[in-house]
Amino acid sequence: MADKVTVAAVVGGVDTHKDLHVAAVVDQNNKVLGTQYFATTRQGYRLMLAWMTSFGALKRIGVECTGTYGSGLLRYLQNAGLEVLEVTAPDRMERRKRGKSDTIDAECAAHAAFSGIRTVTPKTRNGMIESLRVLKTCRKTAISARRVALQIIHSNIISAPDDLREQLRNMTRMQLIRTLGSWRPDASEYRNVTNVYRISLKSLARRYLELHDEIADLDVMIAAIVDELAPELIKRNAIGYESASQLLITAGDNPNG
């Protein structure tokens, strides 16, 4: 009877970047078998996986930055049924000895995955927590842009001619914004200082209102996800949708959570 062929087990490691990932493979003795660069595309992921498995049976893979540059690779590897560990930090002692390079970082990621040190279970990026995270990021940037628009509105009013400034006294924020947004300055009179202030203030006010509506729409979507994921959490005293959504994001869509 023919002897049964034993396929050697190997472990992979990946140093992730925007355009190119660097992969490394170690054997059952934690010895580096090779390193290689791959594009950050689905074809690149396929080639990387084929390259790693050419050394043996792929036991697991350590990937850096699974929440950013490595997120696409993480999804691809998990969909392929592979065990993926997130490598949380570089091996500083190894870096001091060998210096900093992408191939060294990939090798360190493979060593970390092999030994199980400096690794955690990565948060999945394909569930409602990820949707919540994306919406919250979008909302944060919209709030920042709205704040900037309001600051420039106030700055322009302070610098505006007296007669224009007098028209805008003693208004609440939204009264001011809606008043400015309703103005109809003559766009052809942009050489006139008073009129150009009107043009600018109207533009800024409309921008503020558009962002205000955008934030309201995002709040509705965020609230719907929070209600679906944690209906009991939102019922607690002193916990609103803002804090509840942040708690859910911090906890993450972690399968071991």
Condensed to tens digits (0 to 9), the pLDDT of residues 183-213 reads: 999 999 999 999 999 999 999 999 999 999 9
Q: Rounded mean pLDDT of the chain?
A: 90
Q: Give yes or no for residue 28 having a pLDDT over 50.
A: yes
Q: Give yes or no for residue 257 having a pLDDT over 60.
A: no
Full-model pTM: 0.71
Q: Give yes or no for residue 246 having a pLDDT over 80.
A: yes
Lowest mean pLDDT across 30-34, 85-89, 90-94, 216-220 = 90-94
pLDDT at residue 122 in the model? 87
Among 3.30.70.790, 3.30.420.10, 3.40.640.10, 3.40.50.2020, name the CATH number for the domain at 9-120.
3.30.420.10
Which candidate, 215, 192, 96, 196, places its Cα nearest to that of 146?
Answer: 215
Q: Give yes or no for residue 179 having a pLDDT over 90.
A: yes
